[in-house]
Structure 1
Amino acid sequence: MDRISALRNIEDALAAFEHGEMDLATMEQRVRGVLRTYATEFADNALAAYRASGDASVDGLVVVAASRAQARERILELSEQPCTFTVERVDSS
């Protein structure tokens, strides 16, 4: 899914919510699905999505990076505090 498709899908979900065609929980689920699909479909370039597991300050955090080492660096920058975690690549399947 490219960026424009992702934005259109999110806009469609927002419009449906605004028109009363779906509830908040459904809209959140749809938007979350769009974002997860977008973030994990980097097969055609050098980037991939990586998820942190560990300390609460970073657990579940997903970043896009060229390598596991770069993902680890980005997560450390975002955490703004010392923490312990592992990094695993997120597959689109």
Structure 2
Amino acid sequence: MDRISAIRNVEDALREFENGDADLAATERRVAAVLRTYATEFDGDGDVFRAVGDDPVDGTVVVAPSEPAARERVLAASDLDEGDPEGDTDPEFDVERF
């Protein structure tokens, strides 16, 4: 799925919600499915990685050129910094190609 198709599918989902043809839960599922499909078929300068581990990072999906970069992006997306001097706030997780 290319970017334009993804945007159109999200617009269709929002239109159905606005018209009362879909409820919020159905709209959320549809938009998440569009994003998931777009991410797994992503054809950019990087790979798609998914975090697997502790909350709040578990399930976070990012595009990055490498696993170390993916770890950094996952932490940034979760408003966390790797290497926190206290060490007790960093969740344990791995990144895997999605």
- TM-score bucket (shorter structure): 0.7 to 0.9
Provide the aligned length of Structure 1 versus Structure 2. Answer: 89
Contact 1:40–1:48 (CA under 8 A) maintained in structure 2: no
Q: Report the CA distance between 1:55 and its aligned residue.
A: 1.8
Residue aligned with 2:34, SS: helix
Q: TM-score, normalised by structure 1?
A: 0.82
One-letter amino acid of the structure 2 residue matched with residue 57 of structure 1:
P
Contact 1:13–1:30 (CA under 8 A) maintained in structure 2: yes
One-letter amino acid of the structure 2 residue matched with residue 84 of structure 1:
E
Amino-acid identity (%):
60
Which protein is bigger by CA-based radius of gyration? Answer: 2
Structure 2: gaps of 5 or more residues? 81-88
Q: TM-score, normalised by structure 2?
A: 0.78
Q: Which residue in 2 is equivalent to 1:27?
A: 27
State the alpha-carbon separation in 1 of the partners of residues 9 and 77 from structure 2: 28
Encode CA deviations 1:31-62: one digit per residue, 9 max, x unaligned: 111011111112x4332211111121211111
Encode CA deviations 1:7-36: one digit per residue, 9 max, x unaligned: 111011010111111222221111111011
Structure 1: gaps of 5 or more residues? none
Residue aligned with 2:16, SS: helix
